[in-house]
Amino acid sequence: MRVLVTGGAGFIGSHIVDDLLAAGHEVLVVDDLSTGKMANLPGSVELAQVDIAGPRFLEIARRFKPEAITHCAAQASVVVSMAEPIIDATTNILGGLQVLKAAIETGCPRFVYITTGGALYGHPLYTPSDEGHPIRPISPYGLSKWTLEGYASLLLPESTPPRVLRLANIYGPRQDPNGEAGVIAIFGSRMLGGQPVTIYGDGEQTRDFVYVGDVVRAHALALALPAPRPVTINIGTMQPTSVNELFRVMATETGYTLPAIHAEERRGEIKHVTLDNLQAKEALGWEPRTGLQEGIKATIDWLRQARVAAGVRG
Q: What is the pLDDT of residues 180-206, one digit of tens each?
A: 678 999 999 999 999 999 999 999 999
- Give the residue-averaged pLDDT of 86-90: 97
Task: Measure the CA angle with vertex 267, ends 263 and 270; round to 5°.
Answer: 95
CB 61 within 8 A of CB 5: no
Radius of gyration in angstroms for the set of CA atoms belonging to the chain, rounded to a whole number:
19
Cα(280)–Cα(220) distance, rounded to whole angstroms?
13
Q: Is 54 exposed, middle or buried (0-12, 13-18, 19+ CB in 10 A)?
A: exposed
Catalytic residues: 141
Q: Where are the chain's structural domains?
A: 2-171+210-235
Count Cα atoms within 13 angstroms, Cβ side, for 266: 15
Task: Tell if the pTM clears 0.85, that is, is over it.
Answer: yes
Give 268's pLDDT tier (boundaries 50, 70, 90): confident
**Phi and psi at residue 307, to the nearest 5°:** -65, -40
Angle at the Cα of 16 from the Cα atoms of 290 and 174, rounded to 5 degrees: 70
Q: What's the maximum distance between 2 C-alpha atoms anywhere in the chain?
A: 56
Q: What is the rounded CA–CA span in Å between residue 174 and residue 39? A: 9
- C-alpha dist (Å) from residue 90 to 97, 100, 167, 173, 213: 10, 14, 21, 28, 29
The answer to whether the CB of 139 falls within 8 A of the CB of 82 is yes
Which of 239, 299, 265, 203 lies closest to 78 in space, CA to CA? 265
Q: Which of 116, 120, 119, 114 has its CA nearest to residue 132?
A: 120
For domain 2-171+210-235, give the CATH superfamily.
NAD(P)-binding Rossmann-like Domain (3.40.50.720)
CB atoms within 10 A of CB 18: 18
Give the CA angle between residues 93, 97, 103 to the nearest 5°. Answer: 145
Nearest Cα residue to 71 out of 46, 88, 92, 42? 92
Cβ(50)–Cβ(69) under 8 Å? no
User: What is the helix (H) or strand (E) element at residue 245, kind and residue range?
Assistant: helix 243-254
- Tens digit of pLDDT for each residue in 213-264? 999 999 999 999 986 789 999 999 999 999 999 999 999 999 999 999 999 9
pLDDT at position 311, please? Answer: 76
* pLDDT computed for residue 73 by the predictor: 98
